[in-house]
Amino acid sequence: MGTLKNKISYVTGGARGIGKSVALGLARSGADVAVVDIDMKTAEGVVREIEALGMRSMAVSCDVTDPADVSAMVEKIVSAWGRLDIAFNNAGICINTPAEEMSFDQWKKVIDINLTGVFLCSQAAGKVMIGQKSGVIINTASMSGHIVNVPQPQCAYNASKAGVIQLTKSLAVEWAPYNVRVNSLSPGYIATEMTLKAPEEWKNRWVDLTPAGRMGTPEELVGAIVYLADDTSSYTTGMDLVVDGAFTCM
Ligand code: NDP
């Protein structure tokens, strides 16, 4: 560990779940981490855990669907810490509704947070990184960007995550000349509030369909993110890294 020493990072959706584990993982690897979320009380708790590890941290309130919020978030980090090396655009939601019953508001909410939010954060972080001629952006996609999950109906989520994968590749191509790398992470079923609140019947089906025979933990994604954030992956850009217990192999 310690490979991210002196790196400045932020994690959206950093208050809990995958974002929290990755925020702590980045800090354990030596990075300063801004915890970005709409839930400031929980984010402050993560900040204290990061500071206890000896790294700098701050909680930044930001709704990733609001362009002004997103610009202010990146500006706050850069004015406090001088630069931005690692942007982990991770905030996301899932709404399970049959396509024929989905309201326009439900569709829009999922696309706004999961896809437009990733674009806005990538754009704000990318502007800083282009100026620096260095930086790494990692976007949380999902295996749902590759396959259609069952038994739950989640067409907006699946479409948003496929969008994140292609957005990531597009940004990687546009920004490679500036030494800004852009990759995505596609987890399989991970035990967080998002999935644990699902009906038992769904969770049993997910585990049955996963060759690894279980859901993953958020901690099991940290190595993938540290790898993508670290300079040892300097030729890795435009990649979607699938971490799913072999779910998508079948
Ligand atoms: P959680 O629901 O546990 O955490 C999501 C976090 O994002 C929460 O802290 C939430 O805040 C925050 N958030 C939601 N909306 C916004 C917003 N508009 N602006 C800023 N922050 C926001 O989810 P996970 O940790 O499970 O998921 C994290 C990411 O991983 C998501 O993109 C998800 O789609 C993806 N993913 C998850 C998988 C899983 O199995 N868990 C599998 C594949 C991908 P608040 O609590 O206030 O709502």
Domain positions in the chain are: 8-249
Q: How many residues does the chain have?
A: 250
Phi and psi angles of residue 180, each rounded to the nearest 5 degrees, phi first: -110, 115
Q: Name the residue with the closest Cα to ligand 1, atom 45.
A: 39
For 8-249, give the CATH class: alpha beta
Q: Where are the alpha helices (DSSP H) in the chain?
A: 17-28, 40-52, 67-81, 104-111, 117-132, 155-175, 193-196, 200-209, 222-229
* The predicted structure's pLDDT at residue 123: 99
Ligand 1 centre distance from Cα of residue 15 (Å): 9
CA dihedral 29, 183, 95, 24 (to 10 degrees): 0
Amino acid found at 50:
I
Q: Name the residue with the closest Cα to ligand 1, atom 23.
A: 194
Ligand 1 centre distance from Cα of residue 14 (Å): 8
Q: Which of 9, 160, 161, 189 is catalytic?
A: 161
Give the global pTM. 0.98
9 is annotated as an active-site residue? no
Q: How far apart are CA 231 and CA 52, in angstroms?
A: 26
Cβ contacts of residue 119 below 8 Å, gap of 6+? 167
Ligand 1 centre distance from Cα of residue 63 (Å): 12
Phi and psi angles of residue 212, each rounded to the nearest 5 degrees, phi first: -70, -15
* The predicted structure's pLDDT at residue 2: 54
Residues with CB under 6 A from ligand 1: 12-13, 15-19, 37-39, 62-65, 90-93, 113, 117, 140, 142, 187, 189-190, 192-195
Q: What is the pLDDT along the chain (250 residues), one digit of tens a residue?
A: 458 999 999 999 999 999 999 999 999 999 999 999 999 999 999 999 999 999 999 999 999 999 999 999 999 999 999 999 999 999 999 999 999 999 999 999 999 999 999 999 999 999 999 999 999 999 999 999 999 999 999 999 999 999 999 999 999 999 999 999 999 999 999 999 999 999 999 999 999 999 999 999 999 999 999 999 999 999 999 999 999 999 999 9
Cβ contacts of residue 180 below 8 Å, gap of 6+? 126, 129, 130, 134, 135, 136, 137
Report the candidate in 206, 201, 231 with the shortest Cα–Cα distance to residue 216: 206
